[in-house]
Structure 1
Amino acid sequence: MKANSQWFVYNKKADFFGLAKKFNVDPVIIRVMRNREVIEEEDIRRYLTGDSSDFYNPHLLKDVEILTDILIEKFNENKTIRIIGDYDIDGVMSSYILRVGLGKFSNNVSVRIPDRKKDGYGLNMNMIDAAYEDGVDTIITCDNGIAAIDEIAHAKELGMTVLVTDHHEIPCKIVDDKKITLRSQADAIVNPHQEECEYPNKKLCGAAVAWKVICVLYEKMGIPSEEADELIEMAAFATVGDVMDLVGENRIIVKEGLKRIRNTKNIGMKALLAACNIEMDQVNAFHFGFVLGPCINASGRLETAIRALELFLEKNPLKAKTIAEELVTLNEERKELTVEGTKEAIEIANSKEYENDTVLVLYLPNIPESIVGIIAGRVRESQYKPVFVLTKGEECAKGSGRSIEEYSMFDEMCKCRELFIKFGGHPMAAGLSMEETKINVFRKKINEISPLVNEKLTEKVHIDFYMPVDYVTMDLVRQLNVLAPFGKANEKPIFVDKNLKIRRMIVMGKNKNVLKLFLISEKGAEVTAIYFGDINEFEEYLIDKYGEEEVNNAFLGKNNKILISMVYYPTINAYNNNESLQFQMQYFH
């Protein structure tokens, strides 16, 4: 079995064959959807064929009427408006959407994105004072602001109007074991997490919230809805890049956004696709999350995210090309720093001092503040524990956390709020700043209150169902694409088959990091599988179970006694104009 994992096979019931016939798909498709809790026929329809007509009414968002009415009033009075975003992909896309949307009605709209090092996350006193000195009348936030209680109070004291659009958890404090939510003095707050908000989709990203606001604003100002629809591609980009759940409306936003991005009019987006060697008509959710998105995030991590915003606002193709290439280069630099930092963090996490910690709090003072979140995610994958990685900031320690499904990071941090200068986030991720002297206190307390038990911290692998490789056909693999776009909460389906005989194994790739297996099923079918995981771990597992001689025989293509169970995703391998089935092995035992 792949290290530190437990397998769980779903066993949910439904009329798979009846529904498959009704919706003209293979029963496998219906079974996978049932495992994603897509049960009612209307939900199945939306999942398979949902489009923009299935979006929820943006007017359901609490305070959206107040916020847009205030904006219209400010336009009419020719007041200066400043958008304050954030330095990650969601913050950049939110800022872009608001800049384009508000810019239709006013020439007095500016954008500021915090500098990660100088300003830290979100709205802060320095940015408010700078806005005041610049004569700004109204601040509108995007992808931040919900937790800026003191900062907004300061802006109100200076006489400014403050509008908040955000999607982060509502801040709270614990009094007598009761959670009390906090609200700033903002003139309007649009955030679907607010208790009184009737908007059905609570898991919009910040850019999607900003887009919904623009939809309402355009409607009130008589702008055709088609113009608002042009911004869906940026909301989709951020939805994937900010790792939101790709279910329900979010999934439709991404589907619709991908349709539009394949014909994008945005010169900056075209330049970024070209710089990343991605054909416009081939772009998919994977590219959003793992190729394009990191280039945007790299600008905020190593330089300033305003450069990424400039890319998407740029009208000159040559200038856009230059910026896009800069961002790709920055991302390569970020990758190198991340590899070094991850290695150091895992060494610390594996040390004896940390073996009893169910929540890892790691202090790496020499790591760039900008990549601590990525490193926390890598350590989380390695250790399967919630992880906080902190580093030395200009004035205090700053860090990011990444969690596991059993642990609500934001809720647990609320119980330690007195230790932080600032914090915010989601159940699965968080950001924080604190005095260096309090790091060990935090580590001790977060572990003392942890509900986790060390012995039970193993990765849980949820398998859709047992499906012999013999059942898989080219047509089925093509049908599986209807389940895309894949991402958080709508992962690629995975299946399991057992008693697969290894006919031969070959290590491939320039870096010898790909394993190709020629397998024979229980019924005698010959199939090929590819494994991109830790080849040494796989080889050691087989040697422990079958002995070195049997493993050597398998590498030489000789008869051997090895049998494996394989968790896989089926694909079509295209080579020299020939197509063949290929199984991507995800886990083994």
Structure 2
Amino acid sequence: MEKRWHIAPADEAAVQTLRDALKIHPVLCRILTQRGITTFTNAKEFFRPQLEALHSPWLMKDMDHAVNRLLKAFSAGEKILVFGDYDVDGTTAVAVMYRFLSTQTQQLDFYIPHRYKEGYGISKAGIDFAKENGFTLVVALDCGIKSIDLIDYANTLEIDFIICDHHLPDEKIPAAVAVLNPKQKDCPYPYKELCGCGVGFKLITALVEKLGLPQSFSYQYLDLVATAIAADIVPITGENRILAFHGLEVANKEPNPGIKALAFLSGAKLPLHIHNLVFMIAPRVNAAGRMDDARKAVQLFVAGTYEEALAYAELLHSDNSDRKEADAAITEEALEMIAQNASWTSRKSTVVYQPHWHKGVVGIVASRLIERHYRPTVVLTESGAYAAGSARSVPGFNLYEAIHACREYLIAYGGHFAAAGLTLSKDNIEAFREKFEAIVSITISDDQLIPELLIDAAIKFKDISPAFYNIIKQMEPFGPENMTPVFIARNVKDAGSKVVKEKHLRFVVQQDGVPLTGIGFNLADKLPIIESGHPFDLVFKIDENEWQGQKSLQLRVEDIRLAEV
């Protein structure tokens, strides 16, 4: 698939100022300034994140109400229910809160709504469970900010709620005892991008202070907080960077037994990096809710021993194997449907439906289809008497608005700019497909139908050294708003590149006499560019390869094209 290359601009004066302060390679200074790091102090805070730099939890609106209500529950021996969503952010948040609260009270349980029986967020079934079992206080994590009616219902049953959420609130806020969410308009908390687990962690730090416990008491949970940050695709800036940085340290020194068990089963090698949490830990946790019941994900993280955690980890690992099998089979079937409908390939949107597809993976399949057919995509399956599914967008296109414009054919829908869910009558699938295509066609630009490859800076092979790479490694953890740097090298020549495993390219290249090796996954179709004998431009990340105990730098090639003459 052809891509648009875009090299990020930089303020040259700011680059020079930072270079004068840091005395490091100008390319590194360019990347840092692009990420808002323009002074020596900024750089020190970035490269050496300190837990002492975390904001006071008391700056968050309603924190005093939340803490006082929990202290009252402790002293009165009230039963407390920890409630959370079924994804990684929700289950880790519940586990962290449950583990901490269990140090203060034994009148405690947790509740995770079933993805298909109850749906996302606070549920009536969950509130009824609380009532039937004598719980008078519920701490809701990673959900609740939009649950106006359900909180009102809980109030009629004399069940108090503390909401810890990070999703964007509506104008009306639920009538809970306390609502902790830095995105509230009148919340003065300085950092707005915490995940749900992060908001719960701030409540724990406030309780630790109020209870007179050492500040470090809460740090034992940071590996789970880092897992939530990694999985929930929140910006790795500010407090999230601090929490993720130190969370990875905990994960590598004294990990939660659940993290340790999942790392073992997934074959992750120490030290763990953020990408291990994203691609090895998170999918296995998410698979529990996608394929079965997410309650066992919490049981994994609250397990008291490694042996107990390993038993739950094996269940999640099995769920993930089932998820991968379903994901691959449905993706293949959907691609075949697209190939058999010639008119679909010229469309600017994709809508596919099969009644037997597994509900738990349709969102993943939509993302997979975008990798092959780069356009807004909806994947539907049967859900009882209706069709239901997930939609995913391409960057820059407002998917939610396009679906909203098709509401005449929908029974229910919700989501945001990049992703959405929807339910409709099976009889309306074709009508929805045509209307969705019509809306996308008139609202999407041609550029948005071509993937964009964002490049941080141009570099020469001679400047790629172990010392240079060591500074890049210190920019970890990587994630949104601090992605792994992407470079371009111009006028590169082939020195023996070849196709490996039929679809990948093993690069042996040189620039101005400096040789480097690299790997380009799924780039075999670019071989003619290399074989042309002409110089080409290479876009890549810098990686480290280990072979027989020896480490060497290599290129993780993203794309190539003929150099401009």
TM-score normalized with structure 2 length: 0.91
Give secondary structure in 1 for the equivalent of 2:496: strand
Displacement, 1:496? 0.8
1:572 lines up with 2:555 in the alignment: no
Residue type matched to 1:116 in 2?
Answer: R
Does the aligned pair in 1 maintain the 2:256–2:301 contact within 8 Å? yes
Unaligned residue ranges in structure 1 (runs of 5+): 172-180, 546-550, 555-559
User: What is the root-mean-square deviation in Å for CA atoms of aligned residues?
Assistant: 2.6
Tell me, in whole angstroms, the C-alpha distance in 2 between the residues paired with 1:208 and 1:6: 36
1:295 lines up with 2:267 in the alignment: no
Give secondary structure in 1 for the equivalent of 2:474: helix
Deviations 1:86-134 (A, max 9, x none): 1111111011111112222222221111122222222122222222222
Match of 2:43 in 1: 44
Q: Note closer, same or farther for the CA distance 1:128–1:15 as it changes in structure 2 (3 Å cut).
A: closer
1:308 lines up with 2:297 in the alignment: yes
Match of 1:151 in 2: 150
Tell me, in whole angstroms, the C-alpha distance in 1 between the residues paired with 2:196 and 2:22: 34
- Residue among 315, 319, 331 paired with 1:330: 319
Displacement, 1:414? 6.3
Match of 2:460 in 1: 468
Tell me, in whole angstroms, the C-alpha distance in 2 between the residues paired with 1:415 and 1:41: 49
More displaced stretch, 492-501 vs 66-75: 66-75
Displacement, 1:425? 4.4
> Aligned residues: percent identity?
28
Does the aligned pair in 1 maintain the 2:338–2:344 contact within 8 Å? yes
Tell me, in whole angstroms, the C-alpha distance in 2 between the residues paired with 1:584 and 1:222: 49
Does the aligned pair in 2 maintain the 1:122–1:144 contact within 8 Å? yes
Tell me, in whole angstroms, the C-alpha distance in 1 between the residues paired with 2:374 and 2:244: 29
Match of 1:429 in 2: 419
Does the aligned pair in 2 maintain the 1:168–1:425 contact within 8 Å? no
Q: Note closer, same or farther for the CA distance 1:210–1:388 as it changes in structure 2 (3 Å cut).
A: farther
More displaced stretch, 417-426 vs 309-318: 417-426
Tell me, in whole angstroms, the C-alpha distance in 1 between the residues paired with 2:83 and 2:347: 38
Q: Note closer, same or farther for the CA distance 1:246–1:117 as it changes in structure 2 (3 Å cut).
A: same
1:22 lines up with 2:21 in the alignment: yes
Displacement, 1:344? 2.8
Residue type matched to 2:33 in 1?
Answer: R
1:206 lines up with 2:206 in the alignment: no
Tell me, in whole angstroms, the C-alpha distance in 2 between the residues paired with 1:561 and 1:319: 59
Match of 1:369 in 2: 359
Deviations 1:510-568 (A, max 9, x none): x44432122132x2222222111242x223xx2xx6xxxxx7xx4xxxxx624321101
Match of 2:113 in 1: 114
More displaced stretch, 56-65 vs 305-314: 56-65
| 1:89-488 paired onto structure 2 within 5 Å | 89-171=88-170, 181-279=171-269, 281-348=270-337, 351-352=341-342, 354=344, 358-394=348-384, 396-410=386-400, 424-436=414-426, 439=429, 443=433, 450=440, 451-454=443-446, 456-488=448-480
Displacement, 1:434? 5.0
Tell me, in whole angstroms, the C-alpha distance in 1 between the residues paired with 2:43 and 2:101: 37
Tell me, in whole angstroms, the C-alpha distance in 2 between the residues paired with 1:87 and 1:129: 18
Displacement, 1:152? 2.3
Tell me, in whole angstroms, the C-alpha distance in 2 between the residues paired with 1:445 and 1:72: 54
Tell me, in whole angstroms, the C-alpha distance in 2 between the residues paired with 1:79 and 1:396: 42
Q: Note closer, same or farther for the CA distance 1:245–1:437 as it changes in structure 2 (3 Å cut).
A: farther
Does the aligned pair in 1 maintain the 2:18–2:39 contact within 8 Å? no
Match of 2:518 in 1: 529
Deviations 1:348-404 (A, max 9, x none): 556455457545444343221111221122223333333333322346444333333
1:6 lines up with 2:4 in the alignment: yes
Q: Note closer, same or farther for the CA distance 1:417–1:72 as it changes in structure 2 (3 Å cut).
A: farther
Tell me, in whole angstroms, the C-alpha distance in 1 between the residues paired with 2:407 and 2:25: 51
Give secondary structure in 2 for the equivalent of 1:71: helix
Q: Note closer, same or farther for the CA distance 1:157–1:320 as it changes in structure 2 (3 Å cut).
A: same
Does the aligned pair in 1 maintain the 2:268–2:280 contact within 8 Å? no
Does the aligned pair in 1 maintain the 2:21–2:40 contact within 8 Å? no
Displacement, 1:209? 0.9
Displacement, 1:282? 0.9
Does the aligned pair in 1 maintain the 2:231–2:278 contact within 8 Å? yes
Displacement, 1:257? 0.5
Tell me, in whole angstroms, the C-alpha distance in 2 between the residues paired with 1:438 and 1:67: 46
Displacement, 1:569? 1.4
Unaligned residue ranges in structure 2 (runs of 5+): none
- Residue among 526, 531, 537 paired with 1:538: 526
Q: Note closer, same or farther for the CA distance 1:425–1:221 as it changes in structure 2 (3 Å cut).
A: farther
Does the aligned pair in 1 maintain the 2:83–2:110 contact within 8 Å? yes
| 1:51-66 paired onto structure 2 within 5 Å | 51-66=50-65
Match of 2:83 in 1: 84
Displacement, 1:347? 4.1
Displacement, 1:270? 2.1
Tell me, in whole angstroms, the C-alpha distance in 1 between the residues paired with 2:356 and 2:239: 41
- Residue among 483, 491, 504 paired with 2:483: 491
Residue type matched to 2:141 in 1?
Answer: C
Displacement, 1:298? 1.2
Tell me, in whole angstroms, the C-alpha distance in 1 between the residues paired with 2:79 and 2:386: 34
More displaced stretch, 211-220 vs 162-171: 162-171
Displacement, 1:6? 0.6
Residue type matched to 1:565 in 2?
Answer: D
Residue type matched to 1:112 in 2?
Answer: Y
Deviations 1:14-39 (A, max 9, x none): 34354235235332222111222333
Give secondary structure in 1 for the equivalent of 2:249: helix
Deviations 1:264-313 (A, max 9, x none): 2522222222222334x411101000011111111111121111211111
Give secondary structure in 1 for the equivalent of 2:497: strand
Residue type matched to 2:115 in 1?
Answer: R
More displaced stretch, 9-18 vs 461-470: 9-18
Residue type matched to 2:239 in 1?
Answer: E
Tell me, in whole angstroms, the C-alpha distance in 2 between the residues paired with 1:5 and 1:240: 26
Displacement, 1:12? 1.0
Tell me, in whole angstroms, the C-alpha distance in 2 between the residues paired with 1:164 and 1:438: 37
Give secondary structure in 1 for the equivalent of 2:64: helix
Displacement, 1:473? 1.5
Residue type matched to 2:546 in 1?
Answer: A
Give secondary structure in 2 for the equivalent of 1:32: helix
Q: Note closer, same or farther for the CA distance 1:219–1:423 as it changes in structure 2 (3 Å cut).
A: farther
Q: Note closer, same or farther for the CA distance 1:157–1:413 as it changes in structure 2 (3 Å cut).
A: farther
Tell me, in whole angstroms, the C-alpha distance in 1 between the residues paired with 2:429 and 2:184: 31
Tell me, in whole angstroms, the C-alpha distance in 2 between the residues paired with 1:40 and 1:156: 51
Paired residues, number: 557
Does the aligned pair in 1 maintain the 2:224–2:256 contact within 8 Å? no
Does the aligned pair in 2 maintain the 1:118–1:394 contact within 8 Å? no
- Residue among 522, 525, 535 paired with 1:563: 535
More displaced stretch, 495-504 vs 422-431: 422-431
Q: Note closer, same or farther for the CA distance 1:149–1:361 as it changes in structure 2 (3 Å cut).
A: farther
Match of 2:497 in 1: 505
Give secondary structure in 1 for the equivalent of 2:234: coil
Give secondary structure in 1 for the equivalent of 2:155: helix
